[in-house]
Amino acid sequence: MELSLGRPSAPGTTGRESMNRARTWLSCFCYEGLSAIQAGRMPSISGDGYIKQLAESCYNSVPNTPTDTYLCAYAQVLLVAADETRKIEDLLQREVAQARDTVCSSTSVPDFSILTQSQQLPEGLTAVALSADTKLTEVIDCWTAVLLSRPSQSGEFTSLTQT
């Protein structure tokens, strides 16, 4: 990107400008991640080390706003969701490749009935799904604790979780 938002700020950048750049990049990441989920595709913005660093530290930076905590929490949930979705996608692609190889190599005429015979989930899918559930639960529990520990936000968060 021309604005280089996906990289740390240059030396000499003010704290406010650095936070605005970080907020803008995290907002772009979150918006694009949500759009990708809704469209059923993988996010195009990589959840590289810089995004992870921002999501883990931006909410405690100075200066910050009360909404920075929510933005960082949402970014971390999207990072976990993207990582786990990639694992599931890889697993399913391997399964399709194996089925294709079986269909095309079994006889001289492709036998596609083999694709509809299997009623089982691909091997390893349950383990990947359980791992994703565990990781998402850990991230959500961590951010719930952070949000509840902040006096200016805890009442608002508590009322939202009770409705």
Residue among 33, 75, 71 at smallest CA distance from 50:
75
In the three-class reduction of DSSP (H, G, I as helix; E, B as strand; rest coil), residue 111 is classed as: coil
pLDDT of 134 above 80: yes
pLDDT band for position 31 (50/70/90)? very high
**Mean predicted confidence (pLDDT) in 71-81:** 91
pLDDT band for position 108 (50/70/90)? low
Q: Taking a C-beta distance cutoff of 8 angstroms, is the pair 43, 36 a contact?
A: yes
Q: Is 126 exposed, middle or buried (0-12, 13-18, 19+ CB in 10 A)?
A: exposed
Determine how many CB atoms are found less than 10 A away from the CB of residue 38. Answer: 8
Q: Taking a C-beta distance cutoff of 8 angstroms, is the pair 122, 95 a contact?
A: yes
